[in-house]
A and B are shown apart, each in its own frame.
Chain A
Amino acid sequence: MTPLQVFFQQLLNGLTIGSIYALIALGYTMVYGVIQLINFAHGEVFMVGAYAALTILLVLGIAQPLVGWLLVGVVLLCGIASMAGCGLLGLGIERFAYRPLRTAPRLSALITAIGVSFVLQNVVMLLYGATDRRFPPVIAPLRWEVAGATVTILQVIIWVSSAVLMLGVQALVMRTRLGRAMRAASHDLTACRLLGIPVDRVIAVTFCIGSALAAFGGMLFGVYYNTINFHDGYLTGLKAFTAAVLGGIGNIPGAMVGGLVLGVLEALGAGYLSAQWKNAFAFVVLVALLLWKPTGLLGERVAERA
């Protein structure tokens, strides 16, 4: 491989994990945009999504790669079921853990979020065991050589499906009534309430959509890496949160850009500097970027007053 081909390959590697980061980061950013809560349990919802997809595959007894319409059907079923399941989980978490704290200091909700993430992690550990689980390979490995770099079918699926979902979310937020309500809620909750916007419902729906996106990311993660562990939500969630901030938290295109940039940065850091500095490199760039642009890549200027 020539150095240019290596670089191209690293870029592709980074875009793949970056797409997954971006999907999870969307959930962080949507929730943050509406109620200014860093939902630390979001990474765990992502992990639950992966386990939900695994459960469905196990129930269907699928252990081998599928082809044709069967494949499409199974992937759709898995995707929809785990998204629906995690959407409900998100609703539940919001209803029972965060809503009672809406009037409390914001840090109280943050601590609750940490508690929720302990609970989700340990429930999954007790249900599925602590050992890594193998995620059945649903999609047959197919790879192409593009300009000297290897591209797999899975990578293409990850890029395409996450792009479609992200554009969908962007359209939902910018073009629909619900989206308008979300944007309004992110500006001023009290004013929304006065205008008759059902704020509680808007917040609940935001959690639901964010969690569903994370679940889809979880399924892709499982299919791509073929192994899942109850602890996967921690590191990936942390990265996705970083991506959301990198792009400008509360900003939807920002989350997408942040996810992709972080993925590529990590790949280049591991590929050209050193893998053991990979995480440090990502954080150094993040800190440097925030010092240069204190509200992230695409973030708006934050008002001085709350």
Chain B
Amino acid sequence: MGNAFCKPRTPRHITHYTLNIPQATCVGILGSLVLLVGCSREPKIPVIKVGFVAPLTGDQAPHGEDMLGGARLAVEQVQAGGELVPGYRVALVALDDQRNPTQAVSAAKKLVADPDVVAVVGHLNSSCTMPASAVYHQAGLLQITPVSSNPKISRQGFETFYRTCATDDLQGPAGALVAVRELGAARIFLIDDMTTYGRGLANEFEKKARELGANLLGHEGITQGDKDFTPLLTKIKALQPDLVYFAGMFPEGALLIKQRKDVGLGGHFMGGDGLFDPVLIELATAEAAEGIYLTTIGSDVHAMPTAQGFIRAYEARYGPLGAYSAYAYEATNIVLWAIQQAGKKDRQAVLAAMKTLKDYPGLFGRQNFDEKGDSLIRDVGLFTVKDGKFAFLKTASWD
């Protein structure tokens, strides 16, 4: 029994090899695959490529798709507007990293090895952006991450690295300030999703909340992809907190919000930008989501006069705006701007052009970057859910 899996049931002696029908089908599938991959080469028109990497398969694919929509839209708009750089067309190369750091490095090397790629928008997860940023740095390739908010990435000091989102050390403290000062929460319970993003954000929140003298009842992690949080919420209910803070993404956030009602846990609920997706309210039901708070990177994109055109175009093309679509659109546009400034297919020139960026008119206002490559737009927006919709409350400060 113990060894059974190594043994064939009956030996097979094959002398003449012919394919039966199912086998032939399999060969056919394999063959057409090879053809498919072999034929997907593009025609030879001079091209400048913008790389894009995010998880497009696997459990984080929803977030990656949101980003891809924004990036695609930016490139399509430029393509429709004629030649960005005379004699070249611009194309987006979208690669999948499955939120796996190993694959992220492979994808980064693939982009680096392609001489047509002059800049990269990506990745989603901080754990992927981190090792990949070293690869781009070594190749002198401009990288802008729209959403990887872990502060450690820019502290590596890579001059190729930029990001358009605020880091977790702004959003966490801003949330803590609102929670303690304005909502008057004295007893707080923290939950994160045990990812680079969630843990980082929760730790920043915790630090500030302690400073403000809140009583932290506990800090727990949940597993991404898990569905049943009632045991944890039942435990939290017994502690009677004033506020539960969740640092994580909207699928788990929605379940926490909904199950919190089911177990009868009262008090406030607050989260970070990972929850800022209309799907959250749909999944959690408007009734359960009513009155939760969340902070976002940058203020309300829907309220930005500068963003109305983008929102209309996006929703006409890809449906409701995802959590990260606007950031990816912004990052891609900045990349395209740098390419236009450079005026040629040259990585060094694009990077040099990026350094001259000043007061770029973006969706979230005038974009500038500090010496680490972090955006100087450091607004943290505070939202609540009202009548089944996100409602902007104010721009929150972080100290």
Contacts and interface: CB of A to CB of B under 8 A. Distances in A.
Are A and B in contact, CB atoms below 8 Å, in the complex?
Answer: yes
Most buried by B among A6, A304, A305, A306: A306
Contacts of B194: 276
A interface majority secondary structure: helix
B288 to A, nearest CB: 10
B237 A17 contact: no
B254 A132 contact: yes
Question: Which of A106, A226, A269 has the largest number of chain B CB atoms within 10 A?
Answer: A226
B263 to A, nearest CB: 7
Contacts of B10: 103
Contact of B282 (A14, A36, A134): A134
A226 B262 contact: no
Most A CB within 10 A of own CB, among B10, B59, B221: B59
A94 interface: no
A105 interface: yes
Given A130-B57, A131-B65, A152-B262, 11 more contacts: A106-B5, A107-B5, A130-B64, A132-B62, A132-B279, A150-B263, A227-B255, A275-B232, A276-B194, A278-B231, A304-B2
Nearest to B12: A103
Top 4 nearest A-B pairs (CB, nearest first) are A276-B221, A130-B61, A306-B4, A106-B5
Interface stretch (A169-177, A203-211, A231-239): A231-239
Given A132-B283, A226-B283, A105 B6 contact: yes
B3 A306 contact: yes
B300 to A, nearest CB: 22
Contacts of B2: 302, 304, 306
Interface in B6-61: 6-10, 12, 22, 57-59, 61
Interface in A254-306: 266-272, 274-276, 278-279, 302-306
A278 B263 CA distance: 19
Nearest to A110: B5
A130 B100 CA distance: 17
Interface residues of A, number: 58
B57 A122 contact: yes
5 contacts: A106-B4, A131-B62, A150-B262, A150-B264, A276-B223
B4 A36 contact: yes
A197 interface: no
Interface in A9-26: 9-10, 13-14, 16-17
Interface in A81-112: 96, 100, 102-107, 110
Nearest to B193: A276
Interface string A116-159: 00000010010001111010010001010000001010000000
Interface in B220-238: 220-223, 225-232, 234-235, 237-238
Nearest to B8: A105
A1 interface: yes
Interface in B176-200: 191, 194
B237 A1 contact: yes
Contacts of B282: 134
B379 to A, nearest CB: 27
Contacts of A132: 62, 251, 254, 279, 283
B80 interface: no
Nearest to A143: B262
Contacts of A17: 228
Contact of B9 (A103, A229, A236, A268): A103
Nearest to B194: A276
A251 B226 CA distance: 27
Contacts of A134: 279, 282-283
Contact of A275 (B9, B62, B220, B255): B220
B225 A303 contact: no
A232 B225 CA distance: 7
Contacts of A106: 4-7
Interface string B355-395: 00000000000000000000000000000000000000000
B397 interface: no
A131 B279 contact: yes
A267 B251 CA distance: 20
A270 B5 CA distance: 36
B347 interface: no
B1 interface: yes
A221 interface: yes
Interface string A32-53: 0000100000000000000000
Given A107-B5, A150-B264, A272-B235, A235 B62 contact: no
A105 B9 CA distance: 7
A302 B4 CA distance: 12
A306 B7 contact: yes
Nearest to B23: A100
B340 interface: no
Contacts of A105: 5-8
A17 B225 CA distance: 15
B258 interface: yes
Nearest to A13: B230
B285 interface: yes
Interface in B271-301: 279, 282-283, 285
Interface string B243-268: 00000000100110010001110000
A226 B258 contact: yes
B204 to A, nearest CB: 18
A103 B22 CA distance: 16
Contacts of B255: 225, 227
Contacts of B228: 13, 16-17, 225, 266
